[in-house]
Structure 1
Amino acid sequence: MRRILLLVALLILAAGAGALWWVYHPIALPAATVDLSIEPGRTPRGVAEDVAATGASVDPFLLYWWFRVSGQDRLIRAGSYEMEAGITPHRLLAKLVRGDEAMRFVTLVEGWNWRQVRAALAKAEQLRPDIAQLDDAALMAQLGRPGVAPEGRFFPDTYTYSKGSSDLAVLKRALRAMDKHLDAAWSQRAADTPLKSADQALVLASIVEKETGRAEDRAQIAGVFVNRLKAGMPLQTDPSVIYGLGAAFDGNLRKRDLLADTPWNTYTRAGLPPTPIAMPGRAALLAAVLPDATKALYFVSRGDGSSQFSSSLDEHNRAVNQYQRRAKP
């Protein structure tokens, strides 16, 4: 009897050791990384079957058994995962319980226009292109902003997402982020601002974003435009004119372009254009509502990214001769 009991004990120990070895032994995969998608509501048994269906060399019954014995089978989360070479049943379960999904990212850059945003989302890796078949009006309706133009409404930042996520979900996050930053900036606006609404601040910020070559000039550039708005002067900003030209712009802004009237031509029309012309970042939003106190009404690029500011037309013309026409002052 003692021998039988000893044999049983040895068998139990061997089985336990074998199970322990299996739990910590790497799963053979068909590739260096393997995608695993777990749908919401999937049972632990179904998850084990999904793992085996990827081509991973693992017995789904044993894997399900491990899920149950661990006591964490009901904690497995739905999502998109990656199984990498060397992963063990133990590490796999920990990944699924943590919800450690395979993440990707897409970056929306400050100063980009809506066309560039669409292009970036279309190229983003493993991002489901749900907006591809939607025009701008339908898209904004889906986002809960019917009748609102998409230009400038999404905050420039880097957004992470799990593989297979919808590009519409990324845009929802970017829209909420812009709302948050715009509201925060508008709440800090100067008491004497000529801007009548947060939307106007967004439009001005987009112009400031496109006009700024050096970050240290941003608030002063905003001050020039605010001074012009207060004085009733046209803004005369080239990026807005270029935006209005759209695909017709060939990279060379000519006098005839400045005279070609569009809703965004700030040479032919007074005040702010009807929509933003790009995505402004947080610094541009703050500059639009808290511009530098300056007497300048003009600025011109020095050719090195910085700007020369002037308070009179004569002074501005001399600056243009010096920095743009390369004439002696």
Structure 2
Amino acid sequence: MLTNVAVALSDGVTPFEFGIFCEVFGIDRSEQGLPVYDFAVCAAEDGPLAMADVGFTITPAHGLERLEEADLICLPADRQAPVRQDYPEPFLDALRRAVDRGARVLSVCSGAFVLGAAGLLDGRRCTTHWMHAEALTRRYPAARVDPDVLYVDEGPVITSAGTASGIDACLHVVRQEHGAEVANTIARRMVVPPHRDGGQAQFIRRPLPRTACDTVGGVIGWMARHLDEEITVERLAERAHMSPRTFARRFLQETGTTPYQWVLRQRVLLAQELLESTDDTVDAIAGRSGFGTAAALRHHFLRTLGTTPNAFRRAFRGPRAVA
């Protein structure tokens, strides 16, 4: 169980990304029945450390020795990272030792470059801010950089894209460790969604559908309310007062995906929510979420999330959950 969190700062750290870790893991919310973390801020280099050219410095209370006991080590963005040629070897050694003993590391934005320097991205899928993805790929060719996602969870190494995606990644960790209710409560306190679609697929709630186009947006709202019905491009185009071809093109422009893939993703997310929050059988959930049969639900659930509906339910409802 995650109880001990350390944030490792180096010179040039960005304050927003640093603040994400403080907000999610550093605030005592025990009055709401939420977990309290043993939280510490550590210096990877001799302080005081400059906070990304914004006019102030910070002097962490701890040095690298504090990383030795952390369950999770957080790495904020570093403005110098894309051009920085080296990091203190004791810092990189501390990160490697942490992963070797079973701790997890989580980077936001250009913090991924530190993990790359430590060799922790080699052979792993990872991400960073889209502006830095090409540079990360060039510098660490053994890393499998995916610039199209909000965050990636690869075992002990979690990487996230720019700025606010760090919130998504942190809430993902909280959800894994403590369940959806805790993650959602923290999200409400932060006035952010528990998850934004487009990130890592596992263990997420259904996001609110959003689009920049009012016409397509209205149809998307209808789609979200009728996932248990047959949804075709022709039917959607009629509602949008467009030809099927025009609607399909506009939908792709506004959402970045096809109507079929959008509906499939929303159905999987609805099934997740029902598995976690109800005692309905898998057959019943397959009907409510639009898959029709338990076999179809299992197929798409496994393909999308890498796990089965029953395994997902047991992870969040316990061994006595109904099948």
Q: TM-score by structure 1 length?
A: 0.23
Structure showing greater Rg: 1
> Which protein, 1 or 2, shows the higher relative CO under an 8 Å CA cutoff with sep ≥ 6?
1
